Amino acid sequence: MSAATLNSAPWDARTLAGWREPHLANVESALSRWVGVDAPVLLGDAMRYAVLDGGKRLRPLLVLAASEAVGGNAAAALRAACATELIHAYSLVHDDLPCMDNDVLRRGKPTVHVKFGEADALLAGDALQALAFELLTPEGDEIPAATQALLCRLLARAAGSQGMAGGQAIDLASVGIALDEAQLREMHRLKTGALLQGSVEMGAACGTVSPAALAALRDYGAAIGLAFQVVDDILDVTADSQTLGKTAGKDAAADKPTYVSLLGLDGARAQARQLLADALAALERSGLADTAALRALAHMVVDRDR
């Protein structure tokens, strides 16, 4: 089903599925071709274990949907999609290490350090981050150098100390501390939101877009980035470990501040609906014709059960 068809339909899960399946297949196939293939044996195995066969691939889908909305270069978008997933995957590998969350279960499987040992898990995460930037900078002229450079800039900012890694550091420092909603939002804006918003921006960077439309896409990315975390906090309380594929209830157990601890369950759910409305309003404001997939992904973020 084309994005154009999607565009004229009201959103429902089946409509998204028709757009998502072929895009997911492309991403899975590309990741399998690109990740860990020529790496030394154990390192390559750990990299592939961390990335393949699991995950919602939300960030890649956001890249691809945003790129389609701006008529982007498909080869660039596929590479950018995979690069965002590699950054996400490396962050999970490092986040699960004993010195961080010390988690043993991820996507229903033993975490990378449980399976390969801490040292190889550490190195696999490091190598995945480097590979993300390698994917963005292929030789040849299929992807213009200006696009390559812009994609690297956006990804580096989203991943670094003023993005994901910075948010994780604030998260670390905030255990047991009473954050207010503004502080909690700022932490999540960096920790989870920066890479989700960055994925939308990277998709947009694969094509051409007016400053106004880009600003609207950034607002969309910010809203779903925050919505993702609010829903994560809700699921941490309401879902079981088997459905989540990771340990449920661990934030509450770790005495971490969450949207649920701050707003209550109903308050958090209302917040998620409001952020969905904000995201959809931003897409309207963008003036872009072909935003059906982005709309559907916003619904997916809020209505997911894992």
Which residues of this chain interact with a copy of itself, rule CB under 8 A? 36, 38-44, 47, 90-91, 94, 97-100, 117-120, 122-123, 125-127, 129-134, 136-139, 144-146, 148-150, 152-153, 155-157, 159-163, 165-166, 168-170, 172-173
Looking up tokens 């952020």, which residue turns up? 275
Nearer to a copy of itself (CB atom), residue 1 or residue 170: 170
Map residue 37 onto helix, strand or coil. Answer: coil
Residues in contact with 158: Cβ distance below 8 Å, sequence separation at least 6, in sequence order:
84, 87, 164, 194, 195, 197, 198, 199, 201
- What minimum distance in Å lies between the beta carbon of 135 and a copy of itself? 8
Nearer to a copy of itself (CB atom), residue 113 or residue 269: 113
* Neighbour count for residue 287 (Cβ, 10 Å): 12
Residue type, 79: R
Nearer to a copy of itself (CB atom), residue 197 or residue 271: 197
Nearer to a copy of itself (CB atom), residue 169 or residue 265: 169
- What minimum distance in Å lies between the beta carbon of 93 and a copy of itself? 10
Nearer to a copy of itself (CB atom), residue 13 or residue 253: 253
- What minimum distance in Å lies between the beta carbon of 17 and a copy of itself? 34
Supply the DSSP string of 219-247, one letter for each residue.
Answer: HHHHHHHHHHHHHHHHHHHHS-HHHHTS-
Q: What's the start-to-end Cα distance of the chain, in Å? A: 25
- Give the phi and the psi of residue 241 in degrees, each rounded to 5: -60, -35
- What minimum distance in Å lies between the beta carbon of 184 and a copy of itself? 14
- What minimum distance in Å lies between the beta carbon of 215 and a copy of itself? 16
Residues in contact with 51: Cβ distance below 8 Å, sequence separation at least 6, in sequence order:
31, 35, 36, 85, 86, 89, 128
